[in-house]
Amino acid sequence: MSEAVTPLNGADFEGLATIKDAGLSGMITLRGDLASKEVKAAVKKAVGLGIPLQRQALSGQGTAVLWMSPDELLLLCAYDEVAQKIAALEKALEGQHFLAVNVSDARTVLRISGTGARETLAKLCPVDLSPGAFTPGMVRRTRMAQIPAAFWLDDSGVFYLICFRSVADYAFGALKDAALPGGEVGVYG
Amino acid sequence: MSTRLATGGRLLDRSRTQDFTFNGKRMRGHPGDTLASALLANDQMLVGRSFKYHRPRGIVASGAEEPNALVGLGEGARFEPNQRATTTEIFDGLNAISQNHWPSLEADIGALNSWVARFLPAGFYYKMFMHPRPFWKHVYEPFIRQSAGLGKVPNPGDPDRYEHFHFFCDVAVIGGGVAGLQAALAAAEAGAKVLLMEQTAHWGGRAPVDGGDVDGQPVADWISATLAKLQDMPHVTLRNRCMGAGVYDHGYLLGYERVSDHAPGFDAPRHRLWRIRAGQIVTATGAIERPLSFAGNDIPGVMLASAIRDYAVNYGVSIGDRTVVVTNNDDAYRTAITLKKFGLEIPAILDARQSGGGALADEARGLGIRVETGKGIASVKGGKRVRGVAICAQAGEGAVLEEISCDAVAMSGGWSPVVHLWSHCGGRLIWDEGAAHFRPDPANPPRGANGEGFVIAAGSANGATNLKNVLADAHAAGQAAARATGHAPASGAAPQGTGDDEAPIAPVWLMPQGARYGLRMKSWLDYQNDVKVSDIQLAAREGYESVEHAKRYTTLGMATDQGKLSNINGLAILSDALGQPIPQTGTTTFRPPYTPISLSAIAGAARGPIFQPVRKTPMHGWHEANGADFEPVGQWRRPYCFPRGEEGRHEAVTREIRQTRESVGLLDASTLGKIIVKGPDAGRFLDMLYTGMMSTLKPGKCRYGLMCNENGFLMDDGVVVRLDEETFLCHTTTGGAEAIHGQMEDWLQCEWWDWKVYTANVTEHYAQVAVAGPKARALLQKLSNDDLSAEALPFMGWTEVVVAGVRARIYRISFTGELSFELAVPASRGRALWEALMAAGEEFGVMPYGTEAMHVMRAEKGFIMIGDETDGTVIPQDLGLDWAISKKKEDYIGKRAQERSHMADPNRWKLVGLETLGGEVLPDGAYATAPGHNANGQRNTQGRVTSSYHSPTLGRGIAMGLVRHGPDRMGEVLEFPTLDGGILKARIVDPIFYDKDGEKQNV
Amino acid sequence: MLILTCPCCGVTGEETEFHQGGEAHLKRFGPGSSDDDFHTYMFAKENPKGAHFERWRHNNGCGKWFIMARDTVTLEVYGTYPAQTHEPPKNIRDAITAKRPGWTWRDFA
């Protein structure tokens, strides 16, 4: 059986920020009534986490749950555990109206770290990325230059950015350009 | 001559020098010089030629308002025209050239225009180039094009980089003079997050030049102390070399930062465009001194009084040994006093006011300067340089009282607040009669999303005059901005500035007030575009009474400086000519940007490989490595064909089709849209979306469907797959995925929000490969142990199999008319699957085929293509697709529209096949003519070609088209005129050219 | 460039995150409706000078449609609310009345 490959194939760039292909990630779109006890229980069962608040992320051991919209979560897990997680969700939500679908290969995940991470993103996204405004645990779906993207900030100050797979090269190129040395804005430390 | 003084130059580092060139001549300046100050220090007063008359032009101002000193900077790909010397910081190796002259700045042929100026009045072009009409194209237009445009466009691509930066703050303060500093401080002390921008490299504006004390210390010290305070505040961002370029709706503000213009070679972006959202914007943009309108006021050496003072104090540059000052207000006396203290000669101060000036006038007299009141300049003597002035009574018509020799004239017509940024987004102005200027009307600010004002003007931009008033006004503005963003101002009064008692200004719009025509036609208003007092008066006489009309007729204020010096003087002249008060005339519209910004900054990073997103399939890398000839399909790049060796496109497409029809070919179909639709109401929902019935589709089966918009027009098509009882997978066209998914969500969220349906766009999760051709099954069976026989997997069925070790969905659908399977695997395994298929297919000669082969093969089969057969005006019934429209359903999107009389009209053009009599290929889009002509005298038409190809399978041209009553006219021959004047004849035939019974795909 | 607050995810973002979708509160007329009703539904829009109700989708965000009450002259935003309703909420109608007494928009006032 052939190996699965990410579109960026492990690319990385070191500049004002470090931009790195985060590798294969398991991603499941779960749509349903996020307020229901069934969904709550199903998410708990699948990834061991609760339902995050609006535009927040919760993360655990190799898993995370991102609030994407009032009826949509994105569940993250190991790439090869997706089928098993979806099966768990489907079992737990049997009889409910929901959708659990594997989107791992539809998207690519980039890791943006280092002191220039905020400024790098702020060059491309119309989002207030000042440390006071964008804090760990927040998720933001927005526009990055000319493509839709979502990113969240973990407790260690690392941004993870998700975009569609087909534009992985564009996303990496845009981030790399924004992180070129000499382009420090000097606003966000 | 202008020269460097032994003293002065507070902005200079005299210990170092920098070498630059002007028109190839080597010159020397100091760090801190602008190009303008360095040119003046090298006695280069003449810097350019005016646009229309090619008059010699010298530097007039010291800042962004400069109309004359426009130069070309840099060389080669980095050459940039129309850069203001007054805002360009010099650096070692800077190369500048002057503009708008030939053969040279000193001897310019175009200056002949000046001799015939009398015959080139305002509106000359409008009047002259009207008749005779045929002259326009071959005589007038080439002539105008030749003389139009200022500066040259660089040819090679710009090698520098540019970027955007998004920034959010409570209060953005534009202008880093004393007003801006104090407003920023007041807002920051209240706790607001503040951004302070200054367009130059220096803080404090012109206060250090004008002098004065704040809280008992010299203003320069106060500036340093305040700057230090702001720098220490973590919630304050300071940015110099960053201009507030434009104020837009809802607190959107553009900042134009010139990051490395002053330090080329440094590895940094050249410009950065700040895209700012501010709760409140404080415009502390200062004021601009107005010229006076007297004959010869454009001769090099006539400058703004404040600029002459700036050059002396900031740069240690004297414009001339003998400077005559002419003014209608007290401020210009500061220039006389300053120059006198530098040891330079002031032959006279001509004060147009009968009553003269206040304390500053007394000080000037005390220094022994001759002050004449009620006097003005009748005319300036000189050509490329001022030689003297003839003075006259301001009240008269210009009779010369005396001639004074001098080599510089410092003029001041009063100060106009810089209201541009206040006005960009709708802030209104009021005319201040006493100060003779327009200033922001605080009752009518630009209003934001909450309906409240979001711009506050501060300091001299708000009409405040002296240091004392400026600081008080700025303090209040900063506090008000903080309050408006939810921050209670700290207690504490405004710093106390000194304020001289100044005598009131007397408006002087023309000097002398009764100047006769000969003087008025030499009194310049707009230096860059050569608009004179007489031109505005002519415009008024000819009926251009609106200020906007007069502007366009005369081109006043339409040059690259956008009339920063000329507009107020011009509209005052217009008001006078019309006999109406100035506020009734009003101003022209202030539009962003404040001064020109680079197009590259607007583009930002969007250039080169990231000019726009290019969407790539998982197999893109393989296609690239195997010579694919790509074509854009939306943002996707799809292989059009895969040429081999010396093959052209046509040969490659022909080969790919033959291989597929005779054996097996592969198509990368990953770009097709794929949307999951799930829920108890999914079937009902799809019955509304598609014209056909989808709810009856059985799990394991596929069905072709058409989607219309509510207008009834066909928008998209594709195969719907039923995955299980509650779940469907809808395939869309390549370009349609996002739009169709959006449309689904629209109906679900806005119309049928009680229906239980969830959708997800999974387009990119799958790599999809069409394996098509008679050997398709044999190829796949080599890679799979699952049963792929017609019995196990019949046409229009689907199942899950393992192919080449990868779990795949496999659909028996065909867009080529051949035996065909479409495989969908997770995208991350797409390339591996593709390579496995290529390897396993070797024995069948397998080859990839591109989009063109796909198009030809579908046309051979009479399959429609969205975007070819449809154009937003075509309904499925036009295309003979009635079989795909359910007659049983009460409703679907577009059904009601298709019942409208025009849609049901039997005369609508309908789809047919077209076969040229000689086998030629019809031009795509060609029309079939009908007898007679329409009301416009054009040939009547009865149909048009929608798709046209050479079919290698049939060895002839085939086409599809829409023809009136087409399906009833089989066998008739239509005529299609071609672009080269010929006519192609084609017979109406069945649109299915190949395998009419569909035997090949169903095996 | 406007700023909009999405009532579905709470983001206040700039216009480039959103997509405008025409007039709001349309009542759909399908098969069986009169030509006049269908014509009005499809083509006759209020297009007012003043308070207006329009559909927006947070397409570069949570993907949800919502309705914005906006003044077409001053660009003041009176409020946004989710699309699953047949009429504007009272607080938004009141906000419009405060600025434009006597306003009407189709059947609303």
Q: Would you give the distance in Å from CA B901 to the centre of its chain? A: 44
User: What average pLDDT does the structure give for chain C?
Assistant: 96
**Which two tokens mark B865?**
């293509």
| Gap from B679 CA to chain A (nearest CA, Å) | 6
pLDDT tens for residues B351-384? 999 999 999 999 999 999 999 999 999 999 999 9
Q: What was the pLDDT predicted at B99?
A: 85
CATH, residue A58: 3.30.70.1520
| Gap from A54 CA to chain C (nearest CA, Å) | 7
Residues B441, B357 contacting (CB under 8 angstroms): no
Q: What was the pLDDT predicted at B1002?
A: 85
A85 shares its domain with A153: no
A126 shares its domain with A143: yes
pLDDT tens for residues B10-23? 999 999 999 999 99
Residues B583, B574 contacting (CB under 8 angstroms): no
- Residue the block writes with tokens 């002007």: B22
> Which of B562, B326, B577, B292 lies closest to B436 in space, CA to CA?
B292
> How many domains, chain A?
2
Q: What was the pLDDT predicted at B150?
A: 74
Segments in C27-72 forming alpha helices (H): 35-43
Q: In this model, does residue B129 exceed pLDDT 80? A: no
Euclidean distance between the first and the last CA atom of chain A, given in angstroms as a whole number? 47
Q: In this model, does residue B130 exceed pLDDT 80? A: no
Domain range enclosing A35:
26-102
Task: Read off the pTM.
Answer: 0.95
Neighbour subunits, C (≥3 Cβ pairs < 8 A): A, B
Neighbour subunits, A (≥3 Cβ pairs < 8 A): B, C
- Domain boundary (A102, A125, A144) is at A102
- pLDDT in tens for each of the 189 residues of chain A? 468 899 999 999 999 999 999 999 999 999 999 999 999 999 999 999 999 999 999 999 899 999 999 999 999 999 999 999 999 999 999 999 999 999 999 999 999 999 999 999 999 999 999 999 999 999 999 999 999 999 999 999 999 999 999 999 999 999 999 999 999 999 996
Which residues does C88 contact at the CB level (< 8 Å), separation at least 6? Answer: C25, C53, C67, C69, C81, C108
* B116 pLDDT tier (thresholds 50, 70, 90): low
DSSP state of A3: P
* B491 pLDDT tier (thresholds 50, 70, 90): confident
ipTM of predicted assembly, 2 dp: 0.98
Residues B284, B180 contacting (CB under 8 angstroms): yes
Q: In this model, does residue B92 exceed pLDDT 90? A: yes
The CATH classification of domain B673-764, taken from the options 3.30.70.1400, 2.40.160.60, 3.40.1000.10, 3.40.30.10: 3.30.70.1400
Q: Which bin fits B814, alpha (ψ -120 to 50), beta or left (φ > 0)? A: beta
How would CATH label the architecture of B289-414+504-585? 3-Layer(bba) Sandwich (3.50)
Q: In this model, does residue B112 exceed pLDDT 80? A: no
Which residues does B823 contact at the CB level (< 8 Å), separation at least 6? Answer: B768, B769, B771, B780, B803, B808, B809, B810, B833
> Which of B620, B828, B834 is the best mutation test for A, with the most CBs of A within 10 A?
B828
Residues B55, B298 contacting (CB under 8 angstroms): yes
Asked whether residue A187 is assigned to any structural domain, the reply reads no
For chain B, residues classed under CATH 3.30.1360.120 are 627-670+765-857
A31 shares its domain with A96: yes
Q: Does A132 touch chain C (CB under 8 A)?
A: no
CA angle at residue B897 from B732 to B710, to 5 degrees? 40
Record: contact A6-B609, CB cut-off 8 A: no
Q: In this model, does residue B64 exceed pLDDT 80? A: yes
> Which of B489, B473, B472 lies closest to B189 in space, CA to CA?
B489
- Strand B408-412, strand B323-327: pairing: parallel
Average pLDDT of the segment spanning B968-976: 97
Record: contact A99-B615, CB cut-off 8 A: no
3-state secondary structure of B480: helix
Which residues does C99 contact at the CB level (< 8 Å), separation at least 6? Answer: B451, C51, C71, C76, C78
Nearest-angstrom CA–CA distance, B524 and B526: 6
Nearest CA in chain A to B259: A183
Record: contact A31-B760, CB cut-off 8 A: yes
A17 shares its domain with A35: no
Asked whether residue A5 is assigned to any structural domain, the reply reads no
Nearest CA in chain B to C68: B449
- Residue the block writes with tokens 């200004």: B505
Residues B615, B836 contacting (CB under 8 angstroms): no
- Domain boundary (A102, A129, A147) is at A102
3-state secondary structure of B292: coil
Q: What was the pLDDT predicted at B114?
A: 67
* B682 pLDDT tier (thresholds 50, 70, 90): very high
Q: In this model, does residue B155 exceed pLDDT 70? A: yes
Q: Which fold has domain B627-670+765-857?
A: Gyrase A; domain 2 (3.30.1360)
Report in angstroms the alpha-carbon separations of A50 from A26, A80, A84, A134, A153.
18, 22, 19, 22, 18
Residues B462, B478 contacting (CB under 8 angstroms): no
User: Which of C:12-71 have CB within 8 Å of A?
Assistant: 13-14, 16-17, 59-64
Average pLDDT of the segment spanning B694-700: 97
Lowest mean pLDDT segment, chosen from A169-183, B135-149, B534-548, C74-88: B135-149
Q: What was the pLDDT predicted at B879?
A: 98
CATH, residue A135: 3.30.1360.120
- Strand B909-916, strand B983-989: pairing: antiparallel
Residue ranges covered by each domain of chain C: 3-99
What homologous superfamily is domain C3-99 in, according to CATH? Folate-binding superfamily (3.30.2270.10)
Q: Does B887 touch chain C (CB under 8 A)?
A: no
A92 shares its domain with A122: no
Overall size of chain A counted in residues? 189
Nearest-angstrom CA–CA distance, B480 and B472: 12
Record: contact B449-C76, CB cut-off 8 A: yes
Segments in B751-846 forming alpha helices (H): 776-783, 830-840
Amino acid identity for residue B213 in this structure: D
How would CATH label the architecture of B162-287+417-484? 3-Layer(bba) Sandwich (3.50)
Nearest-angstrom CA–CA distance, B826 and B765: 6
Lowest mean pLDDT segment, chosen from B135-149, B779-793, B824-838: B135-149
C13, C59, C62 member nearest A126 (Cβ): C13
**Which two tokens mark B457?**
């003007």
Report in angstroms the alpha-carbon separations of A41 from A58, A91, A96, B680, B757.
15, 11, 12, 22, 21
- Domain boundary (A56, A75, A102) is at A102
Q: Does A70 touch chain C (CB under 8 A)?
A: yes
Radius of gyration of chain C (CA): 14
Q: What is the dihedral of CA B497, B503, B507, B510, to 10 degrees?
A: -110
Report in angstroms the alpha-carbon separations of B760 from A72, B677, B742, B757.
10, 7, 10, 10
Q: What was the pLDDT predicted at B115?
A: 65
What are the backbone angles phi and psi of residue B575, rounded to the nearest 5°?
Answer: -60, -45
DSSP state of B883: G
Q: What was the pLDDT predicted at B119?
A: 65
Q: Which bin fits A145, alpha (ψ -120 to 50), beta or left (φ > 0)? A: left
Residues B213, B219 contacting (CB under 8 angstroms): yes
CB pairs under 8 A between B and C: 68
Q: In this model, does residue B846 exceed pLDDT 80? A: yes
pLDDT tens for residues B558-583? 888 899 999 999 999 999 999 999 99
> Which of C1, C5, C6, C11 is the best mutation test for A, with the most CBs of A within 10 A?
C11
Exposure string for B940-950, b = 16+ CB within 10 A, e = fewer:
ebbbbbbbbbb
Nearest CA in chain B to A2: B832
For residue B931, cis peptide bond before it (omega within 30 degrees of 0): no
CA angle at residue C37 from C36 to C39, to 5 degrees? 65
Looking at the DSSP bridge assignments, the partners of residue B377 are: B391
What are the backbone angles phi and psi of residue B489, rounded to the nearest 5°?
Answer: -60, 145
The CATH classification of domain B3-129, taken from the options 3.30.565.10, 3.40.50.300, 3.10.20.440, 3.40.50.150: 3.10.20.440
User: What average pLDDT does the structure give for chain B?
Assistant: 95
User: Which of B:767-806 have CB within 8 Å of A?
Assistant: 804-806
Residues B585, B599 contacting (CB under 8 angstroms): no
pLDDT tens for residues B500-522? 789 999 999 999 999 999 999 99
Q: In this model, does residue B138 exceed pLDDT 90? A: no
Q: Which bin fits B592, alpha (ψ -120 to 50), beta or left (φ > 0)? A: beta
> Which of B166, B675, B710, B896 is the best mutation test for C, with the most CBs of C within 10 A?
B896
For chain B, residues classed under CATH 2.40.30.110 are 900-1003
Q: In this model, does residue C31 exceed pLDDT 90? A: yes
Amino acid identity for residue B610 in this structure: I
- Residue B600 host element (H or E): helix B599-603
What are the backbone angles phi and psi of residue B850, rounded to the nearest 5°?
Answer: -100, -170
Record: contact B805-A1, CB cut-off 8 A: yes
> Which of A115, A111, A109 lies closest to A181 in space, CA to CA?
A115
Q: What was the pLDDT predicted at B117?
A: 66
Q: In chain B, what residues touch C8 (CB-CB under 8 Å)?
A: none
Q: Would you give the distance in Å from CA B470 to the centre of its chain? A: 35
Average pLDDT of the segment spanning B732-739: 95
Q: Does B603 touch chain A (CB under 8 A)?
A: no
| Gap from C65 CA to chain B (nearest CA, Å) | 7
Kindly indicate whether the domain formed by B900-1003 is annotated with CATH number 2.40.30.110: yes
Average pLDDT of the segment spanning B409-436: 97
Q: In chain A, what residues touch C17 (CB-CB under 8 Å)?
A: 126, 142-143
pLDDT tens for residues B460-485? 999 998 999 999 999 999 999 999 99
3-state secondary structure of C71: strand
